[in-house]
Chains A and B, each alone.
Chain A
Amino acid sequence: MRNLVVFGGSSHPELTDLICRRLGISAGKTKLQKFSNNETSVELNESVRERDVYIIQSGCGHVNDNLIELLIMVNACKIASAKRITCVIPYFPYSRQADVPYKASGAPLARLPPATPQGEPPQQNTEDLSQQLLKKLTLAAAGQETNKEKAPYREWVARSGTLIADLLTCAGADHIITMDLHDAQFQGFFDCPVDNLRSLPLMIKYIRHQIPNYENAVIVSPDAGGAKRATSIAEKLCMDFALIHKERRQVRSEKAELILVGDVRGKDCILVDDIADTSFTITKAAALLRKKGALKIYALVTHAILSAGAIENIERSTIDEMAVSNSVVSQNQRITSKKIKVFDVAPIFSEAIRRIHFGESLSMLFDPNHAIV
């Protein structure tokens, strides 16, 4: 594979090693550091002229630093005349922005931050008409605009998905490989081809081999958005399926009721989700399942970011065993919990890189019957 170069960013060097080992090559030599004023410094110590370049960088750890490092590496390869530049991003950053901002401790902010103006409820005007007119005239004379302030302004939360796609394209990426995008529609934000690989075959393999008596277990999705993902696993393994649903009443209260749709009494449960960040979703779901009579509770998560006390949460929760992929390095570096086991996704990525380099089809990677040892 003379024309193939694989560079690893500083976000996940272990995964780069595993992928390169499976490909049978050594990773491209780079020197990635920071200057003393915190600017990123990228040095590529191998020629990339007319070669097929793959840059592996995951959206974990210090996300902004790693993202800028990726953009600078792509740009460096582009102006060094690389033939094609592919970004391999196992966990795509900014693909999911939480609806409610979370504090560092992981608890959701109950109130909006004080800088945002709180809309005032419209005042009941009980004054005399002439007095109202006088008031309005004095305000108009003072030159104040009252019309603009009448309707309370709802804050505008930035959704950065398109921006990241544009940045990668403008830096010079020709192709993106990622895994289990939070929103499959994200592929449409790009003008270049995006390969959204699935960790499904690896999850199915894990269930078949590591979970005893899995035929009698129930696959559970911890929220309504992940229902499709969970049902596809349940179908392939001919298992039962259940769903946990957050009921939001009209009156905004902090407690949202969790409701289980389906029956788990006396059965093992397997929770399936794509991202575990603060792990509130999955631990609350596990608590509900235990309450409803589940026996053993497993959790399978693709991207385990595990920020801000998530590991303690999981230790305390009713989850018996949690399997995560090594697509990201957890924020707390070494996962010290005995409950958490790691399954390797490097085989899928190295197979994808090999097939893309030789121009072969990737369809078999989505087929769970095809074993990737």
Chain B
Amino acid sequence: MSDNSIKIFTGNSHPELAKLVARRIGIDLAKAVVMKYSNQETSVTIGESVRDEDVFIIQSGCGEINDNLMELLVMINACKTASARRITAVIPCFPYARQDKKDKSRAPITAKLTANMLTVAGADHVITMDLHASQIQGFFNIPVDNLYCEPSMIKYIRTQIPNWTNAIIVSPDAGGAKRATAIADRLNLDFALIHKERKKANEVSRMVLVGDVRDKIAILVDDMADTCGTLGLAAKTLKENGAIQVYAIVAHGILSGKAIQVINDSVIEKLVVSNTIPHEDKMAICPKLDIIDISPTLAEAIRRTHNGESVSYLFSHVPE
């Protein structure tokens, strides 16, 4: 019986991350050509045999999300019909994760639809990072590994933020309180919370700080930064309440629309995001942007999944 090997494929959403992951594992990326036909349909050509191999497809939900999602589905399906032994979809930023409940009449639960589509296309396993709601794991009938950016964030705070022992962890909204308290506990720091107060409907809500940030370095922690409206306002509130400096650490930096302008104009000292989403073009125009590399975590997860070892180590440690 022959040993099967790891084959890593990537779509067009984040090829740099895939290269970093492959380099850490010590293999080359598997050959595949993913492009579009002239009528805009996606075309996938797999250039290596995947028969009885352990296939990992790295594709993030960013940029042209629908195109990247279709690329991922077609690649999974192609590997399935090419007799791969097991197909794992590695999705650092899970698409449509925010549409996970029916909050209005006739609202679709697109996250459930995405989970169904991945399963139907033929995925056997999903590895993702910092899901917006960890309950999304329950949308799948196949195993899902929800890795955490938290150890990397903690390492960044300890090594890159000067005088971090005088910091305070702040959550920019009530929903993220649990995430922020977990980090505050690990670092033995204080915790504060910003709460949007709505007096009446249609009245401009103001942000209320719960906790004391005077003469401290405030570190805002959140899972996603999209238009950055919330982050900008939160930073202003913190500065008004006496914080010395404001940092923001975010797992997925989507940064769409006017986000970069908002960050550049705001009082935020540095915005730190992970590289689940590509940022080369944004680094050029935003001097406040800093990147945490999470490819070691993904690479280690892939290696341990392939070898059948436990992944629990990654929930509290950053692989060196």
Contact = CB atoms under 8 A, between A and B. Distances in A.
Given A43-B106, A97-B41, A101-B43, A153 B49 contact: yes
Nearest to B62: A37
B39 A307 contact: yes
Interface of A: 35-40, 42-45, 47-48, 61-65, 67-69, 71-73, 75-77, 79-80, 93-94, 97-98, 101-104, 106, 113, 115-117, 148, 153, 155-158, 160, 162-163, 166-167, 169-171, 277-278, 305, 307-308, 331
A156 B46 contact: yes
A61 B39 CA distance: 8
Given A36-B257, A40-B66, A277-B39, A162 B47 contact: no
Contacts of B44: 157-158
A303 to B, nearest CB: 10
A167 B120 contact: yes
A67 B45 contact: no
Given A42-B108, A80-B106, A170 B117 contact: yes
Contacts of A117: 31, 47-48
Which 8 interchain pairs have the tightest Cβ spacing?
A158-B78, A76-B108, A158-B44, A44-B106, A116-B47, A36-B257, A64-B70, A156-B46
A71 B117 contact: yes
Contacts of B119: 170
Contacts of B96: 39
B45 A158 contact: yes
Q: How large is the interface on B (under 10, 10 to 19, 20 to 34, 35 or more residues)?
A: 35 or more
Nearest to A62: B40
B38 A171 contact: no
B161 interface: no
Contacts of B107: 43, 76
Nearest to A275: B39
A155 B45 contact: yes
Interface in B182-228: 226-227
Given A63-B39, A277-B39, A37 B110 contact: no
Nearest to B93: A37
A38 to B, nearest CB: 5
15 contacts: A42-B108, A65-B67, A76-B108, A77-B106, A80-B105, A101-B37, A106-B38, A116-B33, A116-B45, A116-B47, A117-B31, A158-B81, A163-B120, A170-B116, A171-B116
Contact of A167 (B37, B106, B117, B256): B117
Contact of A75 (B31, B82, B109, B120): B109
Given A36-B227, A38-B65, A115 B39 contact: no
B113 interface: yes
A160 B102 CA distance: 31
Given A63-B41, A170-B117, A171-B116, A75 B108 contact: yes
B34 to A, nearest CB: 9
Given A63-B41, A75-B110, A157-B43, A38 B256 contact: yes
Contacts of B261: none
A312 to B, nearest CB: 14
A47 B46 CA distance: 45
A71 B73 CA distance: 14
Contacts of B65: 37-40
A262 B37 CA distance: 33
